[in-house]
Amino acid sequence: AEKTAAKMEKKVSRRAKKEEEDLEALIAEFQNLDAKKTQVIETSCPPPSPRLNGSLSAHPEKDELILFGGEYFNGQKTYLYNDLYVYSIRKNSWSKVEIPNPPPRRCAHQAAVVPVAGGQLWVFGGEFASPNGEQFYHYKDLWVLHLATKTWEQIKASGGPSGRSGHRMVACKRQLIIFGGFHESARDYIYYNDVYAFNLDSFTWSKLAPSGIGPAPRSGCQMTANPEGSIIIYGGYSKQRIKKDVDKGTLHTDMFLLKTEGAGKEEDKWAWSRLSPSGVKPPPRSGFSVATAPNNRSLLFGGVHDEEEEESIEGDFFNDIYFYDIGKNRWFPGQLKGPKSEKRKRRRGRQAEAEGAGDEEMEKQPPQGPVEIVKEVVAEDGTVMTIKQVISGPAEEKERSESEEEEEDGALGQQVEPCPRSNAMLAVKHGVLFVYGGMFEVGDRQFTLSDLYSIDLHKMEEWKVLVEMDPKAQEWLEESESDEEEDDTEGAEGGEEESSEEDSDEEGEEQHPPAQPGEEHADYLSRTEQYWIKLARSNMGPDAKEKKVVKVAHAMAKTFYEDSL
């Protein structure tokens, strides 16, 4: 198995190298833009745009949540982010913090908070993707955000993990422990089950070699550190090629303990052992989100179970919570107790029935009974979205009117819950769980969310809506619309769609030649080609082949042309 894995890794890295070279120049261009920012600028702002696969972390000393990175797909293009947002829990408000020299744009990275020197946010790995989602650049860089001074620092240390995304990272004693993940090129992929430790005192990497039989390679698992310094792994996803162009996905449901025999030092011996938990385990799923809960528990939220047919994939999305009690080695579902007033008690019984009926039915079927309020919202492109909110009551119409009354009283949050979703971002602060963003699918269309919910994990009474989903933020472009514009290799998009405008407005920044009103792409390219070739060559270096320089220059020009329009 090790030989096969080594051969596959060699094959993947060989093919990926060429792809990644194509994207490196564009990443460098985005970094050049970031490097022109010389001071920290913090501004109040509306909630962040829709995204998934970012990181949401609780500030160790303040009542704040920190959102970094993520991705957004509108049906034609993938946008990557490296912006930093701070959510004030007390004020229920967002601010955007622009800090010079941040990590490059990415998604599917990992972030861990370390409570020293005013707080540190450590970020490792992740990926950058081309707009068509067919080329990937996997990072293997390590960064730390010093929260007290609002400065980013890249930590350069040899011997760390290879480039990857979908891995998991936790802070454990004075170490960052990284497990698993995957690396993908256009035609090949490899999943990992290796374990690395980064020492927060010596700033050195070490690859652990635990004894015993550990988890199979996987990404997107649950990884939790217990107070004793051991690591718990649950679930995850991997796929295998069973024949040419046919892959088979596996939803893992096994559980492992990685235990150290020492005090968390580099020379300690580690060992894998299998866990057989009691209780009610979560149904198999991928794309779930995880967080550390109070009372020595970890939690799992949402996710998707894909039914893979030969021609298509149908997904059942979840919005449930499952707790794992670390001390008792036991799983149990998180049950809402409901608010305490008489009216709410009456609802609670009906809501339990609705939950018992299963989240899959709720997401897939049209509303059948009194347990759902249905909101229809129209996106800017005219698409009607049906959002279901599970409540309870004697009749649908009565509940609809009750909910409208309560909405006026500001009590809507007492009867709603996040719609089913995968790849959401979670954080826990003062025993309260916050759920931000993620995505769900309806047919061939993907909805990326920007809503924010919270629930008190000590009381488990009700979800609160802090930010509602904005239907105007939903954009979906059919694939067919872009066929005539598609290129074999497009450069990667970055930032929000309006970010180019923001960047070009900065005083003193070099401005790329803008498209003239009504100017066709071919005319724009003819007029500015030499500028973009010169820029691409300066990023790629003197040894780059002319053909590749021209290809990258054209991709950069196309990206900027479309953004400047």
Q: What is the pLDDT of residues 222-254, one digit of tens each?
A: 999 988 889 999 999 999 888 877 888 899 999
Both tokens assigned to 104: 């490059």
* Cβ atoms within 10 Å, residue 191: 23
Residue type, 484: E
Stronger pLDDT, 1 or 217, i.e. the higher one: 217
> What's the pLDDT tens digit per position in 137-177?
999 999 999 999 999 999 999 999 999 999 999 999 899 99
State how far the Cα of 491 lies from the Cα of 521, in Å rounded to an integer.
Answer: 15
Nearest to 227 by CA among 170, 147, 169: 170
State how far the Cα of 477 lies from the Cα of 481, in Å rounded to an integer.
Answer: 7
Whether the pLDDT of residue 192 is over 60: the answer is yes
Both tokens assigned to 176: 């960052």
Q: Which helix (H) or strand (E) holds 302?
A: strand 297-308
State how far the Cα of 499 lies from the Cα of 96, in Å rounded to an integer.
Answer: 13
Note the Cα 377 to chain centre separation in Å.
25
Judge contact between 245 and 305, C-beta under 8 A: no
Mean pLDDT for 83-111 is 95
Stronger pLDDT, 383 or 255, i.e. the higher one: 255
Residues 6+ apart with CB under 8 A from 177: 169, 170, 195, 196, 197, 223, 225, 231, 258
Mean pLDDT for 20-46 is 78
Indicate the burial class of 329 (C-beta count within 10 angstroms; 0-12, 13-18, 19 or more): middle
Stronger pLDDT, 42 or 533, i.e. the higher one: 42
Both tokens assigned to 165: 């995304």
> What's the pLDDT tens digit per position in 455-502?
999 999 999 999 988 777 777 887 644 443 444 333 345 554 433 333
Note the Cα 398 to chain centre separation in Å.
38
State how far the Cα of 29 lies from the Cα of 36, in Å rounded to an integer.
Answer: 11
Stronger pLDDT, 96 or 8, i.e. the higher one: 96
State how far the Cα of 410 lies from the Cα of 416, in Å rounded to an integer.
Answer: 12
Q: What's the pLDDT score for residue 3?
A: 66
Banded pLDDT at 80 (limits 50, 70, 90): very high
Judge contact between 244 and 221, C-beta under 8 A: no
Lowest average pLDDT, out of 22-26, 44-48, 178-182, 362-366, goes to 362-366
Largest alpha-carbon pair distance within the chain?
A: 75
Residues 6+ apart with CB under 8 A from 34: 82, 100, 101, 102, 104
Stronger pLDDT, 540 or 332, i.e. the higher one: 332
Q: What is the number of alpha carbons within 13 Å of residue 523 lying toward its C-beta?
A: 7
- pLDDT > 70 in the chain, percent: 74
- Say whether 74 sits in a helix, a strand or coil: coil
Residues 6+ apart with CB under 8 A from 150: 40, 42, 97, 99
Both tokens assigned to 244: 């040419």
State how far the Cα of 236 lies from the Cα of 252, in Å rounded to an integer.
Answer: 5
Banded pLDDT at 334 (limits 50, 70, 90): very high
The pLDDT mean for the chain works out to 79
Write the Ramachandran bin of 389: left for phi over 0, alpha for psi from -120 to 50, otherwise beta. beta
State how far the Cα of 385 lies from the Cα of 366, in Å rounded to an integer.
Answer: 12
Query: What does the DSSP assignment read for 153-167?
Result: EEE--SS-PPS-BS-
Mean pLDDT for 297-302 is 96
Q: Where are the beta strands (DSSP E) in 475-534?
A: none
Query: What does the DSSP assignment read for 502-517?
Result: HHHHSTT---PPPPPT
Judge contact between 451 and 302, C-beta under 8 A: no
Residue type, 221: C
Rg over alpha carbons for the chain, rounded to the nearest Å, is 24
Cα pseudo-dihedral 394, 398, 399, 400, rounded to 10: 150
Query: What does the DSSP assignment read for 176-242?
Result: EEEEEEEEE-SS-EEEEEEEEEEETTTTEEEE---BS--PPS-BS-EEEE-TTS-EEEEEEEEEEEE
- DSSP letter (8 states) at residue 107: B
Both tokens assigned to 47: 């909630």
Stronger pLDDT, 1 or 433, i.e. the higher one: 433
Lowest average pLDDT, out of 58-67, 115-124, 165-174, 385-394, goes to 385-394
Domain boundaries, the chain: 521-564
For 179, 180, 283, 386, 478, the CA distances from 165, given in Å and listed in that order, are 11, 9, 24, 32, 27
Lowest average pLDDT, out of 22-26, 178-182, 226-230, 270-274, goes to 22-26
Q: Where are the beta strands (DSSP E) in 327-474?
A: 330-333, 372-378, 384-390, 425-429, 432-442, 445-456, 463-467
Mean pLDDT for 511-531 is 82
